[in-house]
Amino acid sequence: MKKIVLLPLDERPCNYDFVYKLFQSDELKIVRPTQLGSKKDPADFDKIKEFLFEECEQAFGLILSVDMLLYGGLVPSRMHMETVETLKERLQVIKQLKEKNPQLKIYAFHCIMRCPSYNNADEEPDYYEYYGERLFTYGVMKHKVQLGQAAAEEAEVLRAQIPEKVLVDFEGRRELSRTLNMETVRYYTEGDLDALVFPQDDSAPLGYTAIDQMQIRRKIQEAGMTDEILLYSGADEVALTLTARMLNEMKGNHPKVYVKYATEAAKHMIPKYEGVRLCTTIGFHILSAGCIPVEQEEAADVIMIATAPDDKMEEAFDQPSISPNYNAERNMAEIMRYIREKLSEGKRVAIADNAYSNGGELDLIRMLNKHGILMDVSAYAGWNTNGNTLGTVLAEAVYDYYYGDTKQRKDFLVERYLEDVGYCSHARGLVTTEISAYADTAFATEENAAEVAASARVHLDEFTAQYLSSIADKVHITHVSMPWKRMFEVKLDAEYNQ
């Protein structure tokens, strides 16, 4: 058994539980902290440091969230009050871990600070409640000025709509964050990190995040590391992706992945909350997982289905879409025929359900259920962003490649159907309507959260009976709760018992 230490991005189930649930086995021992922070409250650095020193001394590998190490979590990384000197000192823990265990493989990921396009301070500094949209719009215009696509006067008009102290704080935070991103690149070039990924959540082609991305990419180029340090859309799935990569490293193998699109035009679509074309992001995710993209299906160990539309991605709560790109351009009849044919040939089929953002496609689940093949696919995911979905599916596929059809894999797959589609695309909207007094905000009390969880459980049972009827008698939901006391995510545990 080899020990892999996980320092997750934060305490949410997608970051804290998914790696443990999928990869913990007789061959891999996943070790994670017993205590982290809580949303805007950062984890204790001294406890994190103690955990790392204790667990990494005899470990094979470390999956390291640099944001957790430096700031105590993803959300605290956007609103902390730490100095650059303190943060650089914290980063030295990486060198110290290597000194204590020179054989330790450290696969690190360090997020590029996001800039959402809306007014909401739930995961941002308080001023984002009032100036978030303006900050985003000004960032886009500022980027256009840099590219020669707009006049400086246009940017000044937008700048004048943001209080100076807000802009100074926001841009100062970005500069500090970018400085630490650059410092992490140096750690990689000096051999203290064995793999490094810069994910970016909630991004766009232009704006503050894209500007930071450009500067970080230039730093990577100057270091001659463009083919080694990866920068792509994602965040909450990266620990899964890098664990899959570490497993491939252990096995000395690189599974080959062929991508089948529901419409070829989807290759060039820019997914919602992301800044580059789908085919580019898929290529990065395959490499990040330690796999190899192939152009011929016959050469593939994994066939990954991408259900994305040809043009504009919509939100899951709007489904079924009335847009032609969802109904006419995507040939779902041919995709279902293809999936069934490949399964009958014994191929490993993984479904990246990226038709919508923030939830899986109900009609796809209906078809998989109708043909009785829900549990025949090797992997499925359809949650949050396209990047979150891709990384999760690839990790599942890598697990299946080495360990096959275990109960552990089946439990994780059932949880994906229940959470990604059952909760995100079905129960969440119904519960929000039923408990409108507080369902779309942070819940005032634990009792509120318990009420929401109970309602979600009822609708998840309905979903199982209706959409998973071919396996409903084998699906057992064992836990439902709201980890951040809000509607967006759920902590869900389930089992598939044959």
Q: What is the pLDDT along the chain (498 residues), one digit of tens a residue?
A: 899 999 999 999 999 999 999 999 999 999 999 999 999 999 999 999 999 999 999 999 999 999 999 999 999 999 999 999 999 999 999 999 999 999 999 999 999 999 999 999 999 999 999 999 999 999 999 999 999 999 999 999 999 999 999 999 999 999 999 999 999 999 999 999 999 999 998 888 999 999 999 999 999 999 999 999 999 999 999 999 999 999 999 999 999 999 999 999 999 999 999 989 999 999 999 999 999 999 999 999 999 999 999 999 999 999 999 988 788 899 999 999 999 999 999 999 999 999 999 999 999 999 999 999 999 999 999 999 999 999 999 999 999 999 999 999 999 999 999 999 999 999 999 998 887 765 555 676 778 888 899 999 999 999 999 999 999 999 999 999 999 988 899 999 999 998
Q: ω into residue 320 within 30 of 0, thus cis?
A: yes
Taking the CA atoms of residue 441, residue 76, residue 38 and residue 432 in that order, the dihedral angle to the nearest 10 degrees is: 20
CA distances, 385 to each of 288, 344, 352, 388, 412 (Å): 17, 30, 11, 5, 19
Assess contact for 182 and 213: CB atoms under 8 A. no
Q: Phi then psi for 107, rounded to 5 degrees?
A: -105, 110
Which runs of consecutive H residues, i.e. helices, occur in 266-307?
278-288
R_g (Cα) of the chain, nearest Å: 22
Cβ count near 416 (within 10 Å): 26
Assess contact for 365 and 417: CB atoms under 8 A. yes
- Which residues make beta-bridge pairs with 30? 4
- What pLDDT does 442 receive? 64
Which amino acid is residue 128, in one-letter code?
Y
- What pLDDT does 20 receive? 97
Assess contact for 142 and 134: CB atoms under 8 A. no
- What pLDDT does 94 receive? 98
E strand or H helix at 100: helix 93-100
- What pLDDT does 477 receive? 98
DSSP state of 357: E
Classify residue 277 by burial, with Cβ atoms within 10 Å: 0-12, 13-18, 19+: middle
Residue 275: name the closest of 212, 357, 226, 206 by CA: 206
| pTM attached to this predicted model | 0.95
Please give the order of strands across the beta sheet that includes 2-7: 28-31, 2-7, 61-65, 105-109, 195-200, 230-233
CA 419, CA 12: separation in Å to the nearest integer? 14
Assess contact for 301 and 257: CB atoms under 8 A. yes
